[in-house]
């Protein structure tokens, strides 16, 4: 039987929110089978649980934000996509996440620090079947027309494969790869995707900070680009780090489905909003998906039966 996974022990981290700039403490706790990934705002007078589910998403403008009941006015947790990506990459099904602020810590701007944190606690197999959302027919969502068009698609596939393409008219980005393919059966998430950092342009910083955003951003937790070049002294971690970070985000956004997807995902210039729209379109069509488990490991797609560190 392909089993669910949680942590062996409790682990903690401290950081700042990239938008709020506020200090935040994070405590990751093991959770029983079928719990899912549940965030708990422990800084409130009465702690509030917020499950990472499609219906909990209340804002996708700059990040994936979830709230109690999906209510924009309810307690929320912002910028969960890097953490959710790490959980997806390591196959974590069940986890309780205690958090002391309304935003996840940005740490180094990628998923690598979260991967390290999860692996340091140890990953434990649980006596329950791992559940997947198997896509049965093609679902596509679009935004805009002509040169401004963006789209994302899910298609049936026995595994989990992603293709992402970006288009940035910028010298520093144009010099790198703007299309990436990743298959969990062939590639290693920790090695190939997890270290890709978020990025931003100096020309946008003042406007964003005037709106109370990116107050915690710096070259310690983001790739910073001026009109022509990358400003970080160490350069890029991957030759195609820009598009790999967009794919990293997509992995996290789509893990808000509540279970790993069995599908092929393709996106052109997509982002958090389009990814959430895609999941909502999938779940709105009962004929487009089903829950699946694998009693025999030999029946599971490649990449899912191995222990998490192999990914």
Catalytic positions, written as ranges? 272
Element containing residue 209 per DSSP (H, E): helix 202-210
Q: In what order do the strands lie in the sheet with 57-59?
A: 57-59, 65-67, 76-77
Determine the Cα angle at 29 with ends 27 and 30, to 5°.
165
Q: How far apart are CA 19 and CA 164, in angstroms?
A: 25
The Cα-based distances of 239 to 144, 236, 303, 307 in angstroms read: 30, 6, 25, 28
Q: Could you tell me if 80 and 62 are in contact, meaning their C-beta atoms sit under 8 angstroms apart?
A: no
Strand 160-165 and strand 261-268: pairing? parallel
Instruction: Name residue, tokens 């602020």.
Output: 101
| In contact, 263 and 139? CB cutoff 8 Å | no
SS3 content of the chain, % helix, strand, coil (to 5): 25, 30, 40
Taking Cα atoms as reference points, which of 89, 80, 85, 76 lies closest to residue 62? Answer: 80
- Which residue has tokens 């963006």? 150
């Amino acid at each position: 039987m392909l089993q669910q996974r949680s942590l062996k022990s409790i682990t903690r981290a401290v950081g700042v929110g990239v938008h709020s700039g506020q200090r935040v403490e994070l405590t990751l706790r093991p959770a029983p089978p079928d719990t899912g990934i549940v965030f708990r705002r422990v800084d409130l007078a009465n702690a509030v649980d917020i499950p990472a589910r499609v219906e909990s998403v209340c804002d996708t403008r700059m990040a994936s934000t979830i709230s109690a009941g999906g209510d924009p006015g309810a307690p929320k947790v912002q910028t969960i996509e890097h953490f959710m990506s790490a959980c997806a990459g390591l196959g974590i099904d069940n986890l309780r996440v205690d958090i002391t602020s309304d935003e996840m810590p940005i740490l180094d701007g990628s998923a690598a620090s979260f991967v390290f944190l999860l692996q340091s606690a140890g990953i434990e197999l649980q006596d329950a079947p791992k559940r997947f959302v198997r896509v049965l027919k093609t679902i596509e969502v679009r935004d805009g027309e002509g040169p401004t068009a963006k789209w994302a698609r899910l298609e049936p596939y026995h595994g989990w494969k992603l293709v992402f393409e970006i288009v940035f008219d910028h010298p520093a980005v144009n010099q790198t790869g703007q299309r990436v393919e990743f298959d969990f059966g062939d590639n290693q998430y920790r090695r190939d995707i997890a270290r890709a950092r978020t990025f931003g342009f100096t020309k946008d910083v003042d406007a964003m900070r005037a709106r109370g955003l990116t107050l915690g951003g710096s070259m310690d937790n983001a790739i910073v680009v001026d009109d022509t070049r990358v400003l970080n002294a160490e350069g890029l971690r991957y030759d195609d780090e820009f598009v790999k970070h967009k794919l990293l985000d997509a992995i996290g956004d789509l893990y808000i489905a509540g279970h790993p997807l069995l599908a092929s995902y393709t996106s052109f210039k997509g982002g958090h909003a389009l990814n959430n729209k895609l999941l909502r379109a999938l779940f709105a069509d009962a004929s487009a998906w089903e829950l699946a488990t694998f009693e025999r490991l030999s029946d599971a797609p490649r990449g899912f039966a191995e222990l998490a560190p192999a990914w």
